[in-house]
Amino acid sequence: MLAGRRIVLGVTGGIAAYKAAYLARRLVEAGAEVRSILTEAGSEFLGPQTLAAITGNPPIGSYFGEPDVSPHTNLARWADAIVIAPATTATIARLAGGISNDVLVGTVLAAQVPVVVAPAMHTEMWEHPSTRRNITTLEADGYVIVGPDAGALAGGDSGPGRLVEPEVIVAALDAALTGDLDGWSVVVSAGGTREAIDPVRYIGNRSSGKMGNAIATAAARRGATVTLVTSAAPPDERGIDVIPVESAQEMADAVWTAAKKADVAVMAAAVADFRPRDPGTAKLRRADGAPEIELEPTPDILAGVAAMEPRPFLIGFAAEAGSLDGAIAKATSKGVDLLVGNDVSRAGSGFGTDTNEVTVIEPDGTADSWPVMSKHEVADRLWDRIIEMRRQKGSL
């Protein structure tokens, strides 16, 4: 599972930092691409050249003085997972409190990937009430805590607080990346279609593809094999097979082919309902006067997937302006398992935004309104809902 994965290794300031070199080697041997963050205190225990030689990339040590103008955000977007080993008491406290005064915590806060934390400290520090509270907070926030072990510690002490062995951390990281969608085949549509008027002009809409991209990215990061059929710029995410399309017909052909082998189909694209019946083969000229454009219906992609036998678990999307009555009608008539409606006229919920405010509607018309959240959060919450519904239907 680690082969081809992009792992950020964070090394903080404890004597166990020497084990991070072994961990980096194990990750590289497993086929992962590794980049590292070495905190200022961590560099007192482990030299940056050691990590550079093992990983092939010099470690990042600060927000400032790096070639990258925004090292934490770019590294967060690059990563498939982050592992912090060793994680000191101070780093754990900063993570729990969201205090991003070092580049490691800043990277974690900017990332939307699994984070594995391997604590290492003296027994008294590990057992202190503040550390226990902070660990509980991290676990509640979804961090994977590995260890610590009991054994020999610095200064001749012995007890709980010893960093677990690199092989244990690698195994935890592998498990975190396997994900709850492991073994699923998923097809996602994204973007708005373009229906040609002539070789230059087209009928289209304002869809950016961001919601579909977030859904595809979340599925890939949770272990699914993903096919993304899109008219928009795709996400930079490994594990996604991208099929670029432009028109509704091209999207229909690609989706219907991919959906035959899919477990789940999420139709998030904003597909044009109509197209010019007879698009021009040459550019229309102003001098020739305003053209009369006769329209015809485009293929109903959602209905085509719903009619398949057998068909994948099917999620539709409906972008409305004002009332969501149309989305409710679509949920009850289109043969979907779930429909996601949103009012694009609302602030933070329209095309091109990084946030969305959606209502999830079941075929019986039952509606569940979600608050405004990032499109990545919507995507993860949607996959949680899909898992729950497939389990209830006995599909898992």
256 close to 305: Cβ distance less than 8 angstroms: yes
Distance of alpha carbon 269 from alpha carbon 191, whole angstroms: 5
Expressed in angstroms, the distance from the first to the final Cα of the chain is 21
Q: What is the rounded CA–CA span in Å between residue 295 and residue 297? A: 7
Task: Determine how many CB atoms are found less than 10 A away from the CB of residue 288.
Answer: 7
Q: Which two tokens stand for residue 122?
A: 């003296």
205 annotated active-site: yes
Q: Indicate which residue of 101, 205, 213, 342 is catalytic.
A: 205
Q: 184 φ, ψ to 5°?
A: -80, 145
Backbone angles phi, psi at 89, to 5 degrees: -55, -45
Cα–Cα distance list, 119 to 82, 110, 147, 149, 215 (Å): 14, 21, 7, 9, 32
Strands (DSSP E) contained in 153-234 are 158-162, 185-190, 195-196, 202-203, 225-230
Question: Whole-angstrom Cα distance, residue 360 to residue 342?
Answer: 9
Q: Which residues are catalytic?
A: 205
